[in-house]
Amino acid sequence: MKWVTREYVHVDRTACPWLIKKFIDPKAQFIFVPAEKIEETAKAQGAIPFDAPGAKLGHKDGKCSFEAILEEYRLTDPVLHELAKIVHSADTSDRSAQEGIGLDAVMTGSRFNAKDDFEAVEKAAYVYDALYSYCKFKLLREKHKSDLANMDRKQQSEFLKKKMQE
């Protein structure tokens, strides 16, 4: 399937392709065009528009495009929803997830280290893989808080490492 969004990617337009490829459409192809060409390109290419003005999978009701995609495709993984808080915080004026400030900085800087949008999305995948692991670790640590309280640091590390692999 083809997907189309605005050129000059930033947070949502790097996070959404990662989400789409990992959890919805592993063979996804992305097209980056000027905002005014989204509708025309979507029709001509049979592409699904996202993170663009008027797109169903865009910002609305205070949510970012990443969150819209989670809802539309009924993705219920709690780790993805934890990650969505970070993406939301990085991509909107709501800074409720502190990690969003860092993600915004990384994605802003990464635009200067990629030759085009395709390379930027490809390089950003590592960041989202790492944030997914971080979110999973964070949720596991909270879920097993009482168990971890009775362990020394080494035991905690081994316990969480095992849980991360489940």
Q: What is the pTM of this model?
A: 0.93
pLDDT tens by residue, 86-95: 999 999 999 8
Model pLDDT, residue 100: 97
Q: Share the mean pLDDT of the chain.
A: 96
Cβ atoms of 51 and 59 closer than 8 Å: yes
Model pLDDT, residue 48: 98
Phi, psi angle pair for 110, to nearest 5°:
-65, -25
Cβ atoms of 56 and 72 closer than 8 Å: yes
Burial of residue 141, with CB atoms counted within 10 A of its CB: 0-12 exposed, 13-18 middle, 19 or more buried: middle
The residues, any chain, with a CB within 8 Å of residue 16's CB and separated by 6 or more, are 5, 50, 51, 57, 65, 66, 69
State the angle between helix axes of 78-91 and 65-72 in degrees (0 to 180), rounded to the nearest 10. 150
Cβ atoms of 135 and 89 closer than 8 Å: no
pLDDT tens by residue, 64-80: 999 999 999 999 999 99
